[in-house]
Amino acid sequence: ENAIPYYEKAIKAIERFNGPNHPRLGFPLFALGEVRQAQKQFDQAEALYRRALQIRTAKLGSEHVLLADPLMGLGEIQLARQQPKAAIPYFERALNVRKSGAGGAVRKANTLFALARALWEANQDRARALQLAESAYHLYSQAGKPAEKKHYDVKLWLAKRGVRPKT
């Protein structure tokens, strides 16, 4: 919350000196979207994520790994709105751009687990949802201490669905 004025100031400065569609806007737009999402201001967060996605897509193309973060944000907003079917395409696309492994194992695991949750909550391809969650579990396990909580969260999510991850 304390970061809001800094992100807003950065956005205004970049727009003023470089124009409204400059690639440098991608990060502060995304970061401000995360803050707004955490505040449950979903409409504002969605607009910020969409703008970051549009700018990054125009500059980097439709398959660049930097598209994954705003796509994840858009998907998480749909889950928060209890619209898991609407979240699935965002998570699928984020997973597709992260297939190369760029962005790191934890981010890929985040994407796998988000897609698993959306599929499960939408009652679509639950077998795949469990497989994705298990893959996320193993990636978090490999990440070690920084991902311990997420590792535990996935383990608990799987256990609630009667699955014990293979070690």
The predicted-structure confidence for 13-24, as pLDDT tens digits, reads as follows 999 999 999 989
- pLDDT greater than 80 at residue 167: no
The predicted-structure confidence for 91-125, as pLDDT tens digits, reads as follows 999 999 998 766 788 999 999 999 999 999 999 99
- Position 1 scores a pLDDT of 66
Closest CA to 67 of 23, 8, 36: 23
- Position 68 scores a pLDDT of 95
The predicted-structure confidence for 43-93, as pLDDT tens digits, reads as follows 999 999 999 999 999 999 999 999 999 999 999 999 999 999 999 999 999
Between 7 and 167, residue with greater pLDDT: 7
Q: Give CA–CA dist 75/88, Å, rounded.
A: 7
Q: Long-range contacts made by residues 73-78, C-beta under 8 angstroms, separation at least 24?
A: 73/30, 73/33, 73/34, 73/37, 73/45, 73/49, 74/46, 74/49, 74/50, 75/114, 75/115, 75/118, 76/37, 76/114, 77/37, 77/42, 77/45, 77/46, 77/49, 78/118
Q: Give CA–CA dist 2/82, Å, rounded.
A: 28
- Position 52 scores a pLDDT of 96
The predicted-structure confidence for 121-149, as pLDDT tens digits, reads as follows 999 999 999 999 999 999 999 988 889 99
- Position 146 scores a pLDDT of 84
- Position 104 scores a pLDDT of 87
